[in-house]
A = this chain, B = another copy of it.
Amino acid sequence: MTTASAPLPAALVEALRQQFGTRYSQGESVRLQHGRDESKHEPMLPDGVVFAESTEEVAAVVRLCREYRVPVIPYGVGSSVEGHVLAVHGGISIDLSGMNRVLSIHAEDLDVTVQAGVTRKQLNDELKGTGLFFPIDPGADATLGGMAATRASGTNAVRYGTMRENVLSLTVVTPEGKIVRTGSRARKSSAGYDLTRLFVGSEGTLGIITELTVKLYPIPEAMSAAVCAFPSVDAAVDTVIQTIQLGVPVARVELLDALTLQAINRYSKTTLPEAPTLFFEFHGSDSGVQEQAELTQEIAQGNGGQDFQWATRQEDRSRLWQARHDAYFACLQLKPGARCFPTDVCVPISRLAECIHATNEDIAQVSLPIALFGHVGDGNFHLVVLVDTDNPKEMAEGEWISQRVVERAIAMEGTCTGEHGIGLGKQHYLLQEHGEDGVALMRTLKTALDPLNLMNPGKILPPQA
């Protein structure tokens, strides 16, 4: 819980107090809240926290911190899991959760401009009545700024894409404290370098995202969800692969293993069969949804799946997906007091069955409770590896299985993280995945944009030898 930083310069503190009054805090509990995340990482506290209310305020903080060579770390709701918000070198955490206004809904253009602190659930609440929705849904009710910064996705990505595909434009405060709009509201553009995608996934290390324009989608005429239990994980995975390869435009297809179902039943008071299970959702016209569902059901049956349990009513569907989104928290309860080694790999779908099968063989070799679930339509799955962080044997087992899973995914032409990001936790894998020259290119970008290394320093790029 210590930071490696020098004490804040008194003149900087004075300037922040003057400008922000009670919206600047150095209190221990506020700093602790902003120096920890949802994962196994030990907290690392910032030296102070500013609660910003506008892009101009963020720019002012960045300029001040730059003047005094003090790091800045953007903070949304702290739901990231790779140590993204930890103040490795101390500095000022800029809390953007107060920047939570939906600025302009362009219903006729199927887009919306929001401040970075708007959360995904808040956005969909505010869209009620427009007939539109925003599909990207990581488990937590994350802020859109955080979601863009980590290139997040979720259960709908198989149909609607990730933040990479759904951000049209950003407002960014650069390391120099300038305010740049990265694009227009045009659906496509060939006008120069893709500044938008430069910042999507940059985890606050190149600048701070303060506003976003994202795509919206018409709420489908018909939506229908189903649950299907399988005799084995392999059978469930084969069903997914065949569904994707046939081009069924499934909106969601999630795998949950037996342990995850057990955890969900306890946590969400559901009575689902505690077996390897797929959660499906189909979007389209009435007849389109029926067609997709029939085809998928046929594939599932061919793999030994049980009958589909349907959830067609809005409230049943919501309950089902809430249970899915709570899976992470449900699994944490399997071992009270435990913390989680997050893993989050993504492989080409042809390798998915083999990858999950081998992962389950690894799981059988360790003593830890480990739940497996994920967005398998994209080839993306997670392990919730539950550890007592004070127990070195458990930590070693956690490290071992994380490493096995990630290295296998990379060897299968996949990635070390499908949606969580690199943060603190996966820097050594970045090198394995992108090679020395790829990481050198990333370092060139970082050094060019942030030569003083003040923007969320210590994240993404591994330390140099």
| Residues of A in contact with B (beta carbons under 8 Å apart) | 106, 108-111, 150-153, 157, 161-162, 164-165, 174, 178-195, 197-198, 200-202, 206, 217-218, 220, 241, 244-247, 284-285, 287-288, 291, 344, 346-350, 378-380, 409-410, 413-422, 426, 429-430, 433-435, 437-439, 441-442, 444-449, 460-461
Complex CA distance for A241 and B187, rounded to whole angstroms: 13
Q: Closest 4 A-B residue pairs measured CB to CB?
A: A448-B448, A218-B247, A197-B197, A189-B415
Most chain B C-beta atoms within 10 Å of own C-beta, residue among A151, A165, A194, A220: A194
A418 touches B288 (CB 8 A): no
Q: How far is the CA of A179 from the CA of B441 in the complex (A)?
A: 11
A444–B190 CA distance with the chains assembled, in angstroms: 19
Contact status B417-A153, CB under 8 Å: no
A218 to B206, CA, bound (A): 38
Instruction: For residue A250, give the distance in angstroms from its CB to the closest CB of chain B.
Output: 13
Contact A418 B190 (CB under 8 A): yes
Q: Given A247-B220, A418-B186, A441-B180, verify A433-B197 contact (CB < 8 Å).
A: no
Complex interface: chain B residues within 8 A of A350 (CB) = 106, 108-109
Choose from B188, B346, B435 the contact partner of A186 (Cβ within 8 Å): B346
What residues of B have a CB within 8 angstroms of the CB of A157 in the complex? 188
Q: List 10 A-B contacts (CB under 8 A).
A: A174-B441, A183-B415, A184-B414, A186-B380, A186-B415, A191-B434, A192-B434, A192-B442, A218-B247, A447-B448
Q: Which of the residues B152, B190, B287, B416 comes within 8 Å of A291, measured between beta carbons?
A: B287
Output the nearest chain B residue to A163 by Cβ-Cβ distance: B190
Given contacts A161-B165, A413-B186, A434-B192, contact A349 B109 (CB under 8 A): yes
Task: Please give the count of copies of this chain that the complex contains.
Answer: 2
Q: How far is the CA of A178 from the CA of B437 in the complex (A)?
A: 7
Complex Cα gap A165–B167 (Å):
12
Known: A165-B161, A185-B414, A415-B184. A190 touches B347 (CB 8 A): no
Q: Cβ of A198: which chain B residues have Cβ within 8 Å of it?
A: 193-194, 197-198, 445
- Checking B220, B416, B437 against A191 with a beta-carbon cut-off of 8 angstroms, the contacting residue is B416
Q: A108, A164, A187, A202: which has the most chain B beta carbons within 10 Å?
A: A187
- Cβ distance A195 to chain B, nearest Cβ, rounded Å: 6
Most buried by B among A174, A183, A422, A445: A445
Tell me how far the C-beta of A186 lies from the nearest C-beta in chain B, rounded to whole angstroms.
4
Contacts of A414 in B (CB 8 A): 184-186
A420 to chain B, nearest CB (A): 6
> Which residues of B are found within 8 Å of A194, using beta-carbon distances?
151, 164, 194, 197-198, 200-201
Residues of B with C-beta under 8 A to A379: 186-187
Known A-B contacts A184-B410, A433-B184, A448-B448; the reply to A193 vs B109 at CB < 8 A is no
A442 to B378: give the CA distance in the assembly, Å.
Answer: 32
Complex-state Cα separation, A111 to B350, whole angstroms: 11
What's the least CB distance linking A411 to chain B, in Å? 10
- Chain B residues closer than 8 Å to A106, beta-carbon distance: 348, 350
Give Cα distance in the complex from A429 to B189, angstroms: 13
Residue on B with the closest CB to A220? B247
List B contacts of A178 (CB < 8 A). 437
A442 x B111 contact (CB < 8 A): no
Known: A109-B350, A193-B445, A195-B438. 6 other contacts (CB 8 A): A108-B350, A186-B347, A189-B418, A190-B420, A191-B430, A444-B448
Chain B residues near A416 (CB, 8 Å)? Answer: 191
The interface residues of chain B lying within 8 Å CB-to-CB of A378 are 186-188
| Contact (Cβ within 8 A) A417 B285 | no
Which residues of B have CB within 8 Å of A185?
348, 413-414
Least CB distance, A384 to chain B, in whole angstroms: 18
Question: Once the chains bind, are B195 and A442 in contact (CB under 8 Å)?
Answer: yes
Task: Tell whether, in the assembled complex, residue B433 and residue A191 are in contact, meaning their CB atoms are under 8 Å apart.
Answer: yes
CB distance from A225 to the nearest CB of B (A): 19
Residue with the greatest number of chain B CB neighbours at <10 A, chosen from A182, A189, A287, A419? A189
Q: Which of A291, A378, A430 has the most CB of B within 10 A?
A: A291
Q: Are B200 and A188 in contact (CB under 8 A)?
A: no
